[in-house]
Amino acid sequence: MQPAYLHFTLLAVSITMLMAQLTVRHKHSAHILFAIFCASVSMVALQKLSSNSLGPYQYLIGMGACATCNCIWLLSRTLFREKNPISLIHFAVAVAIAVLIMIQQGYLFATHQWALHAPWLSLFSHMLREATILLSSCILVLSFWEAMRGFGQVQKQDKQQRILFMVTFGSAVLASKSAKGIFVDNPDMLTVTLSVITLGVLASLQYLLYWRFHRAVDTNTRSPHQPQKSAPDELTVRDDDMHLAKQVHALLVEQNYFLQANLKVADIARELTVPEYKISKVLRHQLQAKNFNQFINTLRVNYAKEILSDPDKQHWSVLVIGLECGFASVGPFTRAFKTYTGTTPNQYRQRALPQQHCA
C-alpha cells in the first residue's frame, strides 16, 4: 500500500468524522474535543500529502496539527471524570503543548525558507523538541491514567468503555514506538504503519463516543410501543441500578450525608465515581423520589421534626435547627418545612411538645 493512498484515506476519514460530530443533536464536550482531534489529524495527513509540492510551506500546515495528544488528554478527562473534568489549568497545559508544536513547525519553516543555520538555533530546536516530547509523553500517561482512575468503583458498562480506551491507546503507543525502531531504515513503511494506527484510533474513539452517549439516548427515547427485550444485559443493568440505589441510600441516610450544606448530585456522583445521570435515575426509579432536592429535603425535614419534638432541645432556635439539618439559612428551612408538613417549624414544635408532655 502506497503512503500517499493512506494519507488520502486518513484525510478523508478524519474530515468525515469531524463533520459527523456537527450532526450530533445532543452534543457533549467530548464531541467537540473529538472534532478538534479529527481536524488536527487531517492537518497531519494534509501536511504529508503536500510535502513534495509545497516545500517549506508544509510546516505552516503542520501548525494546525497541534491538538493530538493534548486533545486526547482533555477528551479522556471529559469521558471519565464527572466533576469539573476540564478547568483553566488543564486548558492552559493543553494550549502550552499546542504552542510548542506550532513554534517547532514555525522554526522548521524559517530554517528551510531562509536557510538559517546559526548554532544557537540548533540548540533551541533541540531543546524545543525535547520539551515537546517530554510533555506529550506525560500527557499520554495521564490520558491512560484517567481511564484507570476509579476503575473498581464504576459500573460494568463504564468498565468496558474504559478497557476499550486503555487497549486502544496502549496498543497505539506500543505499536508506534515499535514501528519507529523496526522501520528506522524504511520511512515509507513507517509512514504506512503510523497511518494505520491513527485510523484505528479514530475508529475506536468514534465507536466509544457512540457507545457512551448515542446508545444511551436511543435506549431512553425508544417508543413505549416497541417490544422490550428480556435479555440478560437488561437484568444486569437492573441489578446494577439496585446496587447503586443501595449505595446512594447508605451514603445519604446511613452516613448522614443529607446533613451536609449545599449538597448536590455531583457530590454524590463524585463520591461513588458514577455519572450524575445515574444517581438521578436511581433516585427516581429505585428510591421513588421526584428529584434529588426533594429526596434530600424530605430527609432533612424528617430529621428536623425529630429535633423539634425533643423536649431536651426545645431551647434550640429555628435557625440552629435549620443549620443542623443542612439548610443554608432559616428562610429555605422554613419554606421547605412548611411545604412538606403544612406548618412552620415553630407551629410544629408547639403542637408536638404538649402531646409528649401529656403522654
> Which pLDDT band, with edges at 50, 70 and 90, does 118 fall under?
low
- Is pTM beyond 0.75? Reply is no
pLDDT(127) > 60: yes
pLDDT at residue 224 in the model: 42
Amino acid, res. 180? K
> Which pLDDT band, with edges at 50, 70 and 90, does 157 fall under?
confident
Q: What is the 3-state secondary structure (H, E, C) of 50-101?
A: HHHHHHHHHHHHHCCCCCCHHHHHHHHHHHHCCCCCCCHHHHHHHHHHHHHH
User: Do the beta carbons of residue 97 and residue 50 sit within 8 Å?
Assistant: no
Average confidence (pLDDT) over 260-277: 88
| Top-confidence residue, 321 or 288 | 321
**Among 64, 99, 78, which Cα is nearest to 34's?**
78
pLDDT(98) > 90: yes
What is the CATH T-level fold of the domain 232-358, as seen in this structure? Answer: Arc Repressor Mutant, subunit A (1.10.10)
Task: Quote the radius of gyration of the chain (alpha carbons, Å).
Answer: 28
> CA–CA separation, 60 vs 102, rounded Å?
8
Please name the residue that has the C-alpha cell 467530548: 30
Instruction: Give the CATH class of 3-219.
Output: mainly alpha
pLDDT tens, residue by residue, 323-348: 999 998 999 999 999 999 999 999 99
The residues spanned by each domain of the chain are 3-219, 232-358
